[in-house]
Structure 1
Amino acid sequence: MPKPDVRIVQLTGPVFDSLALGDLAGATAAGPVPLTAYLAGPDRRGLWRRRAEQVASDPGSAAWVTGIIWDRQRLLAVGTAGYHGPPDTAGMVEIGYAVDPAYRRRGYARAALESLLARAAKEPLVHTVRVTISPDNTASYRLASQYGFVRVGEQWDDEDGLEIIYETPANHL
């Protein structure tokens, strides 16, 4: 199967607000690309609420936070990917990605991860890329380990439970 041609489409405050409410029609009308029911579903609303609040308090973070994994060939939204925010004072960014179950095992997570890593490598303020993964998410761990991520610790997340923390240098070009 050929590698999908994806880009991460950034969203705006109004799109985040609509998705946080589960308003697919409003989010699609306000957004740059057509969205899917998965993106406005109940499992994604917590993410969108956090991003809506984040962008409302720091509009500049919209260029960094979660966007849509857009398949350029199929003209289709297949998941979410982005950073949790701009680089922190130590130059660390944390990434996150999720692929709609209907489109998993087609290379979209890998393509999104590569896109996020490529951007981090070009950003002079980014020195470290972090990802946190549930201990039972072996697919995500296998993917991250192929890109030099190593375990540096663990944390408890109130929404996701125990997470293992992995980091890799940003490898500036």
Structure 2
Amino acid sequence: MTITNAPWHHPQPDQSDVHLDVVPEAVLHALAAGGTDATTRRPMSPWLTGPECASLWRRRSEQIRERPGDAPWVTRLIVDPAVALPVGVAGFHGPPDAHGMVEVGYRVDPAHRRRGYARRALETLLAVAQEHPGVRTVRATVSPDNAASLALIAAYGFVENGEQWDEEDGREIVFEVSVDGQRRPTEDWNRTR
């Protein structure tokens, strides 16, 4: 499987039409520069263009300038066709490293939390990772205070593999799952729809 800029759809389209859309490079750089709806030429929520996501856009913009091939892997918009604006962001931190590891990241706009968007995004990311021959392990790093994210990754078989200090987010627990070891969550996927 080659990673392209095409949208990533949920692995069970009968369960969810939420998908992950690539952020065009020009939009990514505009967001990194503090862009708004007008400068990105795509409707965005104040949360996506605000301070909560500013460092993410700057980091990804710099990454794409240095390594353009990372573009289709990194932060995408979580799109629910029933909602006018993207409801969050999700993607990988980059392509697989030399050991076949990719790290997932996801954030949901506070106005749209507790509606299953992070779950749908993670399911989509895991499906993309599982289909790509270069990926062997998926990593997630989570703040020990983020109970919702800890519960979410536990449902998908992630196991603790240490901890790290992130300059922006502070202490994070490192979790990993083998793409061969992925399993359906312990909860019914329909329950969170």
RMSD: 1.8
Unaligned runs of 5+ in 1: none
**Matched residue, 2:67:** 58
Are 1:7 and 2:19 an aligned pair?
Answer: yes
**Distance in 1 of aligned mates of 2:52 and 2:131:** 32
Amino acid aligned to 1:17: H
Are 1:111 and 2:120 an aligned pair?
Answer: yes
SS in structure 1 at match of 2:51: coil
Check whether the contact 1:3–1:111 (CA below 8 A) recurs between aligned residues.
Answer: no
**Distance in 1 of aligned mates of 2:105 and 2:19:** 15
Once the 2 structures are TM-superposed, how far is the Cα of residue 36 of structure 1 from its aligned partner?
Answer: 1.4
Once the 2 structures are TM-superposed, how far is the Cα of residue 120 of structure 1 from its aligned partner?
Answer: 0.2
| Structure 2 counterparts to residues 14-163 of structure 1, below 5 A | 14-29=26-41, 31=42, 34-163=43-172
Q: Which runs of 4+ in 1 moved over 4 A?
A: none
**Matched residue, 2:11:** none
Amino acid aligned to 1:5: D
Q: Size of the alignment, in residue pairs?
A: 169
TM-score normalised by structure 1 residue count: 0.92
**Distance in 1 of aligned mates of 2:82 and 2:38:** 25
Once the 2 structures are TM-superposed, how far is the Cα of residue 76 of structure 1 from its aligned partner?
Answer: 3.1
Once the 2 structures are TM-superposed, how far is the Cα of residue 4 of structure 1 from its aligned partner?
Answer: 4.6
Unaligned runs of 5+ in 2: 1-13, 183-193
Identical-pair percentage: 52
Check whether the contact 1:16–1:27 (CA below 8 A) recurs between aligned residues.
Answer: no
Check whether the contact 2:90–2:106 (CA below 8 A) recurs between aligned residues.
Answer: yes
Check whether the contact 1:81–1:97 (CA below 8 A) recurs between aligned residues.
Answer: yes
Check whether the contact 1:154–1:162 (CA below 8 A) recurs between aligned residues.
Answer: yes
**Distance in 1 of aligned mates of 2:40 and 2:29:** 12
**Distance in 1 of aligned mates of 2:23 and 2:34:** 15
Once the 2 structures are TM-superposed, how far is the Cα of residue 127 of structure 1 from its aligned partner?
Answer: 0.2
**Distance in 1 of aligned mates of 2:71 and 2:169:** 23
Check whether the contact 2:31–2:40 (CA below 8 A) recurs between aligned residues.
Answer: no
